[in-house]
């Protein structure tokens, strides 16, 4: 039985974490997620992805039971690197991923959410990295991604105490984009995905390539890449259509070419 379901509706892909009761991130689940990303990457129609959890949680974290099956420090290091590589892939994915977070996004669950490009949360959602309360530390790049969203001081506080924050605080400190009602979370995520999917796919992919330069502090390289992409995009059919539609005061009809 799969732990990640995949459904495509027109230009939007829906990935649902299905590993009750807590949607723990087992090795199987991470492998399933990687396989679903392979499928999405091959589907030329998809322009946006919505990732959410089935049941009461987004994901309450890694599967702690798996830890007891490991014996050597090298085993734990390999487990960490496997998770990091998958989440790096999500962050570098050419299609924007929206995480719709309800219930708990803790430990590996929050690390997964942080690798996504946009995060919508419910006000009652609980987000945190509680690994220190178990005498361990985050292992799926939590120590590296969290400071980029909330700042180093807040990251020290959250990781060292292990205390979570709610959805409203997550938005305030930059960890999430916006709050949605419990019943409206998926609908709001879909609405955002639809706004993205209405744009030209070549332009979307250029943006997905360019913003990471800013995240890594490579400003001089980023502006060079932007200038090159700016020139390239004007050779696309969609750019011509977009400009003509603007001048003709109509909605553009992009063909993703």
Enzyme catalytic residues: 111, 131
At residue 157, the 3 state secondary structure works out as helix
Write phi, then psi, for 45 (nearest 5 degrees).
-80, -30
Give 18's contacts (C-beta < 8 A, 6+ positions apart).
2, 3, 4, 5, 54
Nearest C-alpha neighbor of 210 from the set 191, 227, 186, 234 = 227
Output the furthest CA–CA distance in the chain (Å, rounded). Answer: 67
Residue 215 three-state SS: helix
- 16-48 burial string, b = 16+ CB within 10 Å, else e? bbbbeebbbbbeebbebbeebbeebeeeeebbb
> What span, in angstroms and rounded, lies between the C-alpha atoms of 235 and 230?
9
What span, in angstroms and rounded, lies between the C-alpha atoms of 155 and 237? 44
**Torsion angles phi and psi, residue 7, rounded to 5:** -140, 135
Are 104 and 125 in contact by the 8 Å Cβ rule? The answer is yes
């Amino acid at each position: 039985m799969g732990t990640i379901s995949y459904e495509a509706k027109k230009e939007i892909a829906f990935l649902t974490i299905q590993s009750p009761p807590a949607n723990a991130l087992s090795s199987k689940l991470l492998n399933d997620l990687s396989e679903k990303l392979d499928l999405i990457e091959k589907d030329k129609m998809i322009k946006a992805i919505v990732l959410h959890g089935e049941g009461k949680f987004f994901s309450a974290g890694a599967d702690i039971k798996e830890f007891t099956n490991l014996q050597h420090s090298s085993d734990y290091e390999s487990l960490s690197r496997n998770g990091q590589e998958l989440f790096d892939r999500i962050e570098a994915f050419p299609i924007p991923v929206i995480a719709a977070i309800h219930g708990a996004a803790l430990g590996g669950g929050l690390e997964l959410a942080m690798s996504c490009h946009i995060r919508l949360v419910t006000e009652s959602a609980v987000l945190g990295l509680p690994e220190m309360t178990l005498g361990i530390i985050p292992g799926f790049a939590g120590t590296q991604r969290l400071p980029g969203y909330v700042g180093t001081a807040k990251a020290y506080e959250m990781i060292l105490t292990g205390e979570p924050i709610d959805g409203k605080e997550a938005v305030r400190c930059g960890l999430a984009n916006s709050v949605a009602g419990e019943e409206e979370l998926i609908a709001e995520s879909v609405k955002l995905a639809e706004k993205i999917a209405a744009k030209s796919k070549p332009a979307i992919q250029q943006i997905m390539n360019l913003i990471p330069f800013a995240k890594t502090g490579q400003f001089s390289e980023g502006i060079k890449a932007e200038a090159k992409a700016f020139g390239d995009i004007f050779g696309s059919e969609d750019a011509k259509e977009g400009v003509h539609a603007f001048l003709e005061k109509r909605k553009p009809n992009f063909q993703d070419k």
